[in-house]
Structure 1
Amino acid sequence: MGSGRIDTRTVGLEAGCALARWLTGKEHMHYGLWAGLDPVAANLGAAQEAYSQRLMALFPPGPLRILDIGGGAGETAKRLIGLGHRVEIVVPSAFLAARCRANAPGAVVHEAIFEEAAVTGPFDLCLFSESFQYIHLHDSLPKAKALLAPGGAIVIGDCFRRDDGPWRHAPGRTVGGGHVLGEFRAAVAREGLVIEAEEDVTDEVAPSIDLEQAFFNVLGVGVAGMDRELRAKRPWLRGVAVGVLGRVMGARRRAALARRLTAQERTSAAFRASNHYLLMRLRPAAV
């Protein structure tokens, strides 16, 4: 019989993929670009498609050998293979690796964190699509640069913290995340890289936050209603449920989940105040 805490990360990934597939027919796990679109669930697929097109507009001419770092469930790799590119994917979990193999059977999948992935290259493109923020700067840029073929490029689409913003007062509680932008730019220069294309799409991405929070608030209404009914009509069952939850989730995670389901602080305005969302292409500086 198994023991220990529930792996909430894997559960969350599975639920996220299932929700994305139900809403859009695809398992994209990135934000969308909402210019000209109302931020409602029915438009999520179109917003994610707009994001993919804008990101891929930064790619060098192909066909390319691409390393998709943190490739999610493999939807991007599937599209890239369909366009004639050769793709290898690095993903850190068994669940995501399985989804990548199912969605993009033509890709080589490495189940590992990027820092430890046994990839050799060379690649014409190293792609970080909402994965760059999870890798330390002293690992991500040097390794990606070392894997590039002559003339190769690094493309990043991700969130960065503003150098000075409200997030500094409560970093763990403020929507968004990523490397501090000034520290990132310093690391780029230190590694002998240049940013040859950059686009700030913060305003177009920000409505994703409102949509995400609205979804969690809907869940919160259901959870609150069930708790009310159990408290009034089955208090013993509620006591058992609370006890089980306490055993499998620590107090910190329970508090974080409760905030996510009921709070209103995660908004597009809060996201804009503390973050930049950037699309960019980097290359090694000419010697």
Structure 2
Amino acid sequence: MPPTSSAAPTQAPARTAAVWAALDPVVTGGHPLQVLDVGGGSGMFAVPLAQLGHTVTVVDPSADALATLHRRAETAGVGGRVRSLQGDADRMPPVAADGPQAPGFDLVLCHFVLEVVDDPSSTLGQIAAVLRPGGTLSLAAANRAGAVLARAVGGHPVEARELLADRDPAPARGGPARRRFDPDQLLALVAGAGLQPGEWRGVSVVADLLEASSGAVPEAVRALELALSGASPYRDVATGLHVLATRPATA
């Protein structure tokens, strides 16, 4: 089945609108792609991409999330185009694309995974190794500036200052520290993996705030989110950062 003309599922939250908008020209209007979703969990992106006609492999450490993925895929009628492998992003199990596009994946998603892996550089290196020449990486990660403002507005100025200095804001809570990135750091990681980054955008600039408002119209929230995602200074304080990068084609 060929990909259809619109990438974003109608039920997708506005906070992901910028990511879907960036993916749209990659996943629509062409041949079916071999897609790898690293840390894709229960299939927020994998199932809609399978519905577009693509074949998606999801790598995730959670057996429960992968079970939910398969239930969602079967319910959506795309169980045959979704497969899963249980494993960690920083020690991925061997993965391979199927079909005429092999070797390598046409598109790899790595959304909000670099925050928790042991070594972001190693993870991106593994991703670059399974991406075919000319293939695309969709990378999203937590934005430090957005986290600083969220802690400050939430009444935690001390934690906000710790985040500003790239330190664990609440070590006494006992949970694992999560990384946050600024745009230059994220783009440098991508380039260090041998990939060519495009322009970065903000993810959830205002969507989380507006979706919590009972009077907000979903389509208006989505339109505003898209308008702000590529414009500074608004994108600079978004919850997340997103960039598309390509593996240079071999000569």
Corresponding residue for residue 45 of structure 2: 76
Asked if the contact 2:34/2:106 (under 8 Å) is kept, the reply is yes
Q: Verify the 8 A CA contact 2:112 2:140 in the aligned structure 1.
A: yes
Residues 200 and 244, structure 2, Cα contact 8 Å, conserved in 1: no
Within a 5 Å distance, the mapping from 1:214-225 to structure 2 comes to none
The structure with the largest helix share of the pair is 1
- Contact 1:126–1:155 at 8 Å: present in 2 too? yes
Aligned residues: 186
Residue number in structure 1 paired with 2:208: 208
Superposition TM-score, scaled by structure 1 size: 0.53
Match of residue 47, structure 1, among 1, 6, 14: 14
Which of the two has higher C-alpha Rg? 1
Aligned alpha-carbon RMSD (Å): 3.6
Structure 1 unaligned blocks of 5 or more:
1-31, 33-42, 215-270
In structure 1, the residue matched to 2:61 is 92
Shift of 1:77: 1.3
**Residue 277 of structure 1, CA deviation:** 2.9
Question: What SS does structure 2 have at the residue aligned with 1:89?
Answer: strand
Structure 1 Cα separation of the partners of residues 242 and 43 of structure 2 = 20
Distance 1:102 1:88, change over 3 A: same
Contact 2:89 2:113 in 1 (8 A): no
d(CA) in 1 for partners of 2:237 and 2:205? 13
- TM-score when scaled to structure 2? 0.60
C-alpha displacement of 1:128: 1.6
Q: Deviations over 1:224-266 (max 9, x none)?
A: xxxxxxxxxxxxxxxxxxxxxxxxxxxxxxxxxxxxxxxxxxx
1:143 Cα deviation from its structure 2 partner: 0.5
Tell me, which stretches of 5 or more residues in structure 2 are unaligned?
A: 1-7, 74-78, 97-103, 150-158, 171-177, 214-233
Q: Distance in 2 between matches of 1:272 and 1:177?
A: 19
Query: 1: CA distance between counterparts of 2:88 and 2:145?
Result: 26
**Which residue in 2 is equivalent to 1:152?**
135
Question: Aligned to 1:56, which of 23, 28, 43?
Answer: 23
- Residues 84, 183 of structure 1: alpha-carbon distance in 2 compared, 3 angstrom cutoff: same
The 8 Å contact of residues 34 and 56 in structure 2, kept in 1 or not, is answered as yes
SS in 2 for 1:281: strand
> Alpha-carbon deviation of 1:82?
1.4
Task: Say whether 1:170 aligns with 2:166.
Answer: no
Match of 1:131 among 108, 113, 122: 113
Q: In 2, distance between residues paired with 1:67 and 1:199?
A: 21
**Cα–Cα, structure 1 residues 273 and 75, in superposed 2: closer, same or farther, change >3 Å?**
closer
Is the CA contact 2:18–2:202 (under 8 Å) kept in the aligned structure 1? no
1:206/1:134 Cα in 2 relative to 1: closer, same or farther (>3 Å)?
farther
